[in-house]
Amino acid sequence: MEKNPVCELLGIEYPVIQGGMAWIADAKLAAAVSNAGGLGLIAAMNSNGEQLREQIKKAKSLTNKVFGVNLMLMSPYIEEAVDVVCQEGIQVVTTGAGNPAKYMEKLHAAGVKVICVVASVALAKMVEGMGACAVVAEGCESGGHVGDTTTMALVPQVVDAVNIPVIAAGGIADGRGMAAAFMLGAKAVQMGTRFLTAKECNVHPNYKEKVLAAKDRDTIVTGKRAGHPVRALKNAMTRDFSKKEMDPNVTLEELEGIATGSLRRAAIEGDVKNGSCMCGQIAGLVKTENTCEEIITEICKDAWTLLTQSEDKLRLS
Ligand code: TUI
């Protein structure tokens, strides 16, 4: 039997990739996911070059397995991050929140595999043309920066449009979600919210508890007016932001002022009232804190069972 193409491509055991959560995905979480057989990622978003290098060195000390770096393209440190990734011999990056065209050549010249997170068919086709080795088709159920197409609609359309492996993201947190993604043609899944609640995740406990307590309708997208829609758990901050966003007398600069530093406030300081608790719509399904190993093995085992025992699911007569 042929091996899973994403496992083959990345040299990993299970087709499970961790989301590149800014201020949350550090060396400890990335190493834990990679040690459990998935692909762990360090978020470069919140680190300058030297801070990122430190995190990479730390991850190298915690795992012998392959791990990657998530390059958030709107980051103020993006240029430094790309250089550090190339210098440190990182084997794989994911890119998000923009078009990675500017950095593809440099990354490829350093032998880095580039997986682009996309929210549209157009960008998926474009990055395939630039040599991306896979795409993450991320639906708007995701936490953080989102597009506007759901995972259910986006994944099969991207699958039909490109010849590279498609990794599904957005709204996936258990074996059922993984099996569904595979039925849509995905060859792997990326999960953020589920790993945010992992035992090895260093996010502030207040944030983790809020995600574990969340119900199905507890997230909201704000920031559409400024062109940076972000999904987060509803709280005093999102209520204030939504109100001001609808008020034409409030300027984009004022809105930006509220958003700036808000993820750090929640993830590091634990201010879950006035900070931004970015999180996906699937939070309502995530009820327990588990190790990365428990998460990955359980999800793959359950997905395998569902995918191999699906004959009588559609009994029409
Ligand atoms: O990047 C993400 N999710 C993120 S980044 C982030 S950090 C942040 N911090 C403060 C404020 C805002 C964000 C939190 N969550 N996911 C990947 C992703 N990329 N989702 C959607 C896209 C995307 C959307 C439009 C990629 C490209 C795109 O169009 C680019 C173009 O130029 O066509």
CA distance 100 to 79: 11
Which residue has a Cα nearest atom 10 of ligand 1? 263
How close is the Cα of 145 to the center of ligand 1, in Å? 4
CATH number of 5-198: 3.20.20.70
Q: What is the pLDDT of residue 278?
A: 98
**Ligand 1 cavity residues, CB under 6 Å:** 22, 45, 72, 96-99, 117-119, 123, 138, 144-147, 228, 230, 259, 263, 278
In angstroms, what is the C-alpha Rg of the chain? 19
CA-nearest of 96, 279, 135 to 193 is 279
Q: Is residue 202 a contact partner of residue 29, using CB atoms and an 8 Å limit?
A: yes
How close is the Cα of 24 to the center of ligand 1, in Å? 16
Strand 230-233 vs strand 219-222: parallel, antiparallel, or unpaired?
antiparallel
Find all residues with CB under 8 Å of 185, minimum gap 6, and list them.
Answer: 155, 156, 159, 160, 166
Domain ranges of the chain: 5-198, 205-282
Q: How many residues does the chain have?
A: 317
Give per-residue pLDDT as tens, 185-223: 999 999 999 999 999 999 999 999 999 999 999 999 999
Which of 74, 75, 127, 145, when mutated, tests ligand 1's pocket best, judged by the most ligand atoms within 8 Å of its CB? 145
Q: Taking each helix axis from N to C terminus, what angle separates 292-308 and 27-35, rounded to the nearest 10 degrees?
A: 40
pLDDT tens string, the chain, 317 residues long: the values are: 789 999 999 999 999 999 999 999 999 999 999 999 999 999 999 899 999 999 999 999 999 999 999 999 999 999 999 999 999 999 999 999 999 999 999 999 999 999 999 999 999 999 999 999 999 999 999 999 999 999 999 999 999 999 999 999 999 999 999 999 999 999 999 999 999 999 999 999 999 999 999 999 999 999 999 899 999 999 999 999 999 999 999 999 999 998 889 999 999 999 999 999 999 999 999 999 999 999 999 999 999 999 999 776 777 77
Q: For residue 186, what are its two tokens?
A: 């995905």
How close is the Cα of 209 to the center of ligand 1, in Å? 25
Does the CA dihedral 135-267-27-16 come out positive or negative?
Answer: negative
Which residue has a Cα nearest atom 28 of ligand 1? 98
